[in-house]
Copies of this chain bind each other. A is one copy, B any other.
């Protein structure tokens, strides 16, 4: 368990002196990781022993262990404690965006249900036909990314971001087919309808979405992507990055399931090396 969650948990039980220490951690983190116990104690107007006791309280062995843990979780844990540092200084903006993106990946990794992903990869690699659904700028990008990745392995796949089309495809799909749909919010009602329709005829449905959302409940297999609220709503880029990484993982696992894919990919790679001087289109390869 990381320091920051421990801190939030203990917050109420902290003594006045300890609260002052905690405040410094949250407000002037840079100072805190670089300070010695004496400097930190001075700044918090407490004695060094109090700082030591504080460290023990939040689950560390010693002050130096505390500093290491602090520095370690800082990278990921820091920003989602305080809402928005949001200075307009370009360096801060860049730092903030990069950190949020890394956090999103971190959270994705932590919440990934590997069993579900493996199951999804398994179904996809055996599917006679795959429909990738997603609407809105974000999810439709994910749908075309799925198409982009999967067709390379020799799979039959088509992507659609059109609700009407999705419904028709879902109605026409056979039990040997697979529908994979993405919804960041989990509340895409049309996708839910498409899933329900497909399941009536025994088509396998896979959702890339938030756990326990309507879309998740409508699907057979749920690759859940649960990010903290803050990341989610107002900063779509970091959420999208997490989805892209999830698709990357899924596609890689599918590739391992398909012997032919390895051969194809190797050929693409060789071609890439041979023609390094071409333009971007070649980078499509993987």
- C-alpha spacing A190/B279, complex, angstroms: 9
Q: Are B97 and A248 in contact (CB under 8 A)?
A: yes
Q: Shortest distance in angstroms between A134's beta carbon and chain B's nearest beta carbon?
A: 7
Q: Are B253 and A248 in contact (CB under 8 A)?
A: no
Given A117-B94, A136-B279, A245-B98: A256 and B184 interface contact (C-beta under 8 Å) = no
Range of interface residues on chain A? 35 or more
19 other A-B residue contacts (CB within 8 Å) besides A88-B256, A98-B249, A187-B280: A33-B68, A67-B71, A68-B71, A72-B74, A97-B252, A98-B105, A98-B245, A102-B106, A105-B105, A137-B281, A138-B284, A139-B280, A185-B279, A191-B279, A236-B286, A237-B244, A237-B248, A237-B286, A239-B283
30 example contacts (A-B, Cβ-Cβ < 8 A) are as follows: A67-B67, A67-B68, A70-B71, A71-B72, A72-B75, A88-B256, A93-B253, A93-B256, A94-B112, A94-B114, A97-B245, A97-B248, A98-B245, A135-B280, A137-B283, A184-B283, A185-B280, A185-B283, A187-B278, A188-B280, A233-B273, A234-B285, A235-B286, A236-B285, A237-B245, A237-B248, A237-B286, A238-B248, A240-B244, A241-B241
Interface of A is mostly: helix
Residues of chain A in range 56-84 having any CB-CB distance to chain B below 8 Å: 64-65, 67-72, 74-76
- C-alpha spacing A286/B82, complex, angstroms: 19
Q: Are A117 and B90 in contact (CB under 8 A)?
A: yes
Q: Are A93 and B236 in contact (CB under 8 A)?
A: no
Q: Mark A119-137, 1 if CB is under 8 A from B, else 0.
A: 0010000000000001111
